[in-house]
Amino acid sequence: MKTFTSALVLAFAALIFITPAAQAADPIKIAVVDIQSLLKNSKAAQSIESQIATMRKSFQSEVEKEEKDLRTKESAIIAEKDKLKEDELKTKAQEFQKQVAAGQKKVQDRKATLDKSIATALGTLRAEIVKIVAKIGEDKDLDLVLARTDVVIVNKDMDITADVLKQLDSNLPSVKVQ
């Protein structure tokens, strides 16, 4: 932490002692981009969200059907309880527990697969955002582009989010969630 603080102080001191002529000759060109806004408002982000909602709805329907089937099986075992011998009841109860465990594992596996698919789709979107920001930075000869979350106050002329959104919607109108 001391090293970071020392480096920060040295960098600040260097900025203070740069001559006015050097400052005028090489102004630093900075821009800001709102990544969170792009991840929410772009066409690709909205397509991802729509696909995820559909997948979750389908997943929820499957889980509810599985739960209903298990409740039916449980009720059947309870209804037969008085008619079965103790070892038969124990065997049926064990089989039922195996089915419950298998159902839980299936749900966990399915959720993990969905989470991985979402992460992959968002990774594709983020990579395209970075590529576009780099291109705009190069075109505008920018020295530094900061994420809006890291900036408290910024001049609206420095915000390139709208330019990035326009290009992003053109380049990547949707992302397929596998």
Q: What are the tens digits of pLDDT across the range 143-171?
A: 999 999 998 998 899 999 999 999 999 99
In a domain, 130, yes or no: yes
DSSP states of 82-148: TTS-HHHHHHHHHHHHHHHHHHHHHHHHHHHHHHHHHHHHHHHHHHHHHHHHHHHHHHTT-SEEEEG
The whole-model pTM stands at: 0.72
3 within 8 A of 131, measured Cβ to Cβ: no
In a domain, 176, yes or no: no
- CATH classification at residue 16: 3.30.910.20
Q: Which residue has the higher pLDDT, 135 or 74?
A: 135
131 within 8 A of 7, measured Cβ to Cβ: no
**How many structural domains does the chain have?**
1
Rg of the chain, C-alpha, whole Å: 28
Structure tokens at 129: 């955002």
